[in-house]
Amino acid sequence: MIWNVDFYEDAVGFAPVEAFIAGLPREHKAKALAVIKLLEEEGPSLPYPYSSQVRGKMRELRTQYGKDKIRILYFGDSRRYFILLHGMVKRTERLSEEDMRIAEKRMHDHLQRLKGS
């Protein structure tokens, strides 16, 4: 079964994770797209180390190229879509509080717009 994966878009249609991926070097981009494809194929059963719980409904897609850890924060909405919220390349183990706040704000925005439709 193929699961639906979509990019979060803000009120003017900008998709930050799509822009993040487009700006990655070719090898990093290939790794990020491969882990998104795994999410489409495996859905909620995608195992660690490819996906892990962050907090609340938020999870992270995980891959690595060299020392660069590529992370994409996402969640599943009520339509059974996985929404890609925020992407980053990091070198530390922990996610920054700022990255989690950005993703939570986008998740809240997405959920509010779903209620309005």
CB 13 within 8 A of CB 109: no
Q: What mean pLDDT comes out for the span 75-92?
A: 93
Length of the chain: 117
Find, among 83, 87, 86, the residue nearest to 75 by Cα: 83
Q: How far apart are CA 107 and CA 12, in angstroms?
A: 16
CATH number at residue 47: 3.30.2310.20
Give the pLDDT score at 13. 96
Residue 70 has pLDDT above 70, yes or no: yes
pLDDT tens readout for residues 5-47: 999 999 999 999 999 999 999 999 999 999 999 999 999 999 9
Q: How far apart are CA 27 and CA 77, in angstroms?
A: 30
Give the pLDDT score at 117. 66
**Number of domains, the chain:** 1
Residue 29: give the domain boundaries: 4-116
Please state, rounded to an integer, the average pLDDT across all residues of the chain. 95
Band of the pLDDT at 92, cuts 50, 70, 90?
Answer: confident
CB 81 within 8 A of CB 107: no
Instruction: Name the CA radius of gyration of the chain, rounded.
Output: 13
Considering the chain, what percentage of its residues have pLDDT values greater than 70?
A: 99
Residue 51 has pLDDT above 70, yes or no: yes
Q: How far apart are CA 112 and CA 51, in angstroms?
A: 25
| H helices present in 23-96, as ranges | 26-42
Q: Is 95 helix (H, G, I), strand (E, B) or coil?
A: coil
Residue 109 has pLDDT above 70, yes or no: yes
